[in-house]
Amino acid sequence: MLEWGGESIPYLFVSRMRIPAVITIDGPAGAGKSTLGALLAEYLGYLYFDTGVMYRALTLVVLRAGLDLAAEEALETLAAQVHILVVPPTVADGRHYTVLVDDEDVTWAIRDPEIERNVSQVARYPGVRRELIRQQRAIAQGGRVVMVGRDIGTIVMPDAELKLFLETSLDERARRRTDERHSTGTTLPLPVVRADLARRDNLDQHVLYPASDAVILHTDGMTPADELAWVIDYLQRR
Ligand code: DC
């Protein structure tokens, strides 16, 4: 039995569903894409791949190299050179995967506030996106993957058979983020979290729209278990 926050999620008749080889989940920061993506992948026995980690890992390398964030060409070159690998968890510390950059474990380092502050700018450059998207497509080609990001249904895998787009109000996202931080012992006031999410929405706007054939899931008031049940039900009914 799969569990989320003490809630059990019953296994349904997976074998009777025709499951798409690639499922994409897009939506704004804090909408719960990663949580739903990881749950759904575990449920289906699929690979879970969060594309945001690639932009974050590249940002880490850029900052460490002391590169000017405005040096678009240098960033583009780096995107093609740096070796980012996402593998199953190598440490049992709550992570869903391990992120390696040139063999260094950067799984937690890419969650640093400094990365958070700068990643959107790195992700804006078309050349950077082109290179990372090429790598993302190569990963998705293998099939049996739940791929999470902003532009997965629109740009990376437009032919994916199931494209989910999560819509969650800014207030709800801010509340959830604040609660998450409380549970990990780090506290930030709600208005600060809300303002940061609004800032990121604005910076990510260029990729933040659903594919014309995406299924929109409004998640306000839903728990991750509710969302998973909704998706399984959708897969069974379609
Ligand atoms: O989902 P996240 O917070 O880890 O994403 C980090 C940044 O990368 C964020 O600014 C959006 C960007 N991103 C993107 O532009 N395209 C994706 N497919 C995934 C993330």
Q: Which residue has the CA at smallest separation from atom 10 of ligand 1?
A: 120
Q: pTM here?
A: 0.91
Q: What is the pLDDT of residue 14?
A: 53
Residue 13 Cα to ligand 1 midpoint, Å, equals 33
Q: Which residue has the CA at smallest separation from atom 5 of ligand 1?
A: 52
Quick one: which H or E segment has residue 175? Answer: helix 170-183
* Contact by Cβ (8 Å): 176, 219: no
Q: What is the pLDDT of residue 187?
A: 80
Q: What is the pLDDT of residue 15?
A: 55
Q: What is the pLDDT of residue 227?
A: 97
State how far the Cα of 33 lies from the Cα of 25, in Å rounded to an integer: 6
Mean pLDDT across the chain: 92
* Contact by Cβ (8 Å): 145, 49: yes
Domains of the chain in sequence order: 18-228 (3.40.50.300)
**163-192: per-residue pLDDT in tens?**
999 999 999 999 999 987 766 667 889 999
State how far the Cα of 210 lies from the Cα of 164, in Å rounded to an integer: 8
How does residue 6 score in pLDDT terms, banded at 50, 70 and 90? low
Secondary structure letter of residue 16 according to DSSP: G
pLDDT at 216 over 90: yes
